[in-house]
Amino acid sequence: MFIIDYLKEVGGAVKSLLKGMRRTGYYFTHHKEIITEQYPDNKATLNLAQRFKGEVVMPHDEKNEHRCTGCTACELACPNGTIKVITQFVMTPEGKKKKAIDKLVYHLELCTMCNLCVIACPSDAIVMAQTFEHSVFDRSKLTKILNNPDSKIMDGVE
């Protein structure tokens, strides 16, 4: 009786192994079902999700104008101290003093892409960009100034 049980077990083992190997054989002969992406080679055709959180950027229009009022809502919303808003007072054409941003400093090396600054912004001045290759040779290159030099605030954004 022991011999029969033993042989049954061996038979079952061979059967289960063959079952698994059938799966392996199936994919060995069906190349089209393999979904490997050849990453650096397919860079041109790579489709990233629209909402992908890569880094914070400040979009500028063709007149080099942004929408940031310097209200520091993003700075307060950030959990890591990634964003620092440096403001200055500029003279408006009417001769009034007005607060505007001098620099919006963004530390990419501290950023966790949590999106809290973007949803906190009342004037939609900052958005998430879809870039994802952030490696650089020098750490100081990760500290970015988001507003372009000599950029101004758009008309009508308060």
Interatomic CA distance for residues 3 and 38, integer angstroms? 52
The torsion angles phi and psi of 102, rounded to 5 degrees, stand at: -90, -55
DSSP conformation letters of 59-120: ---TTSEE------HHHHH-SS--EEEEEEEEE-TTS-EEEEEEEEEEEGGG-----HHHHH
Return the residue of 57, 90, 116, 154 that touches another protein, per CB under 8 A: 116
Task: Please pick, from the candidates 1, 2, 3, 22, the single residue that binds another protein as defined by CB under 8 A.
Answer: 22
Please state the closest distance from residue 20 (CB atom) to another protein, in A: 5
Smallest distance, Å, CB 124 to another protein?
Answer: 14
- Indicate whether 142 belongs to the interface with another protein (CB under 8 A): no
Rule CB under 8 A: is residue 114 a binding residue for another protein? yes
CA 91 to chain centre: 37
Residues 120-139 that bind another protein (CB under 8 A): 128
Q: Counting contacts by CB under 8 A, is residue 25 touching another protein?
A: no
In the complex, which residues of this chain contact another protein (CB under 8 A)? 9, 12-13, 16-17, 19-20, 22-24, 35, 48-53, 77-79, 112-116, 119, 128
